[in-house]
Structure 1
Amino acid sequence: MPVDVTTEIVIERPCEQVAAYAGDPSHAPAWYANINSVRWQTPPPVGVGSRMDFVARFLGRTLAYTYEVVDYGPDRLVMRTAQGPFPMETTYTWHSAGAASTLMTLRNRGEPAGFAKVAAPMMAAAIRRANQKDLATLKQILESS
């Protein structure tokens, strides 16, 4: 059973500002509660082909995985796990939601294997809850700066 979770939030900042901050993987530990660290394998800034090692904590387990950027533009960032325990694609999109507001969408999708396949519905619910909290933290960071 595939996991496909989409979460959205409106952030009261222009798209360029939201994209610059949220689209820089170096900032992920500041707004993702479960991400402990990000280490660049390729030199910043982010672009197609960029690779980063992430260490995260999810459902009580520490996970280490490598994301590779497969699509990047002013309104989107798409990363896929190049290595790790759970094949995942993460997509960020940014669209204007008014004069100085941005609708940010965060989508996680993947195809779990083995035991994780059985736990896919529970994983999807946990990802949704975590994403809602993480986007709320991102909103707080950007709107208070």
Structure 2
Amino acid sequence: MVDVLTEITIRCPLHKVSEYAADPDNAPEWYVNIDSSAWVTEKPLSIGSQVAFEAKFLGKDLSYVYEITEFIPGRKLVMKTANGPFPMETTYTWEALDEQVTMMTLRNQGKPTGFSKWVTPLMSTMMKKANKKDLKRIKDMLES
């Protein structure tokens, strides 16, 4: 089982952070490993929306589709793989610490299967490292 939780404080109002982070079109800009995103379903983002991603992780090219399973604008977004290398759930949460500071959390949970199962400990470590870079990148972008 993979369960990686990272968080960061961003000096930017909650509505700006959550709107930017929840927009799949922005993912390639702030996710280190995501090369592209493409809508499978029509915009706007809502429960049941599907977005296809192309990414690189641990030296492998990955293609997967995330389906939105929970969306509370400005508070929480939950996506699960509809298809891909292994079942994964990604959760974003946002909390206003004050009018200008937002706490963002990024959590990845999944159950690797097949070959991936054998590299779970390495995968958790590498995911945490990548997630920290991603959150640092979104922080730098939104604070500048």
Would you say same fold, with TM above 0.5?
yes
Aligned twin of 1:102: 102
1:47-126 equivalences under 5 Å are 47-74=46-73, 75-126=75-126
Quick check: 1:79–1:90 contact (8 Å CA) kept in 2?
A: yes
Q: Which amino acid aligns with 2:118?
A: V
TM-score (structure 2 length as normaliser): 0.98
1:36 Cα offset (Å): 0.4
Letter in 2 for 1:95: E
Percent identity, please: 51
Match of 1:24 in 2: 23
Q: Is the 8 A contact 2:69 2:79 kept in 1?
A: yes
- With 51-60 and 94-103 compared, the bigger mean Cα shift is at 94-103
**In the alignment, is the contact (CA less than 8 A) between 1:11 and 1:103 conserved in 2?**
yes
Superposed CA RMSD in Å reads 0.6
1:138 is the counterpart of 2:142: no
Does the 8 A contact of 1:24 with 1:45 survive in 2?
A: no
Structure 1 moving runs of 4+ over 4 Å: none
In the alignment, structure 1 segments of 5+ residues that lack a partner are: none
State the shift of 1:99 in Å. 2.5
**CA positional deviation for 1:98:** 1.9
Distance 1:114 1:45 in 2: 35
Q: What is the aligned residue count?
A: 143
TM-score (norm 1): 0.97
Q: Quick one: distance in 2 between partners of 1:98 and 1:90?
A: 25
Could you tell me how far apart the structure 1 residues matched to 2:140 and 2:56 are? Answer: 22
Cross-structure match for 2:127: 127
8 A Cα contact 2:14 2:99, kept in partner: no
Q: Deviations over 1:8-33 (max 9, x none)?
A: 00000111110000010110000001
Deviation of 1:44 after TM superposition, in Å, equals 1.4
Q: Which residue in 2 is equivalent to 1:44?
A: 43
Q: Is the 8 A contact 1:29 1:37 kept in 2?
A: yes
What letter is aligned with 2:33? N
Find the aligned partners of 2:43 and 2:31 in 1 and give their Cα distance: 20
- Say whether the 8 Å CA contact 1:49–1:68 is kept in structure 2: yes
Which secondary structure state, in structure 2, belongs to the residue aligned with residue 97 of structure 1? strand
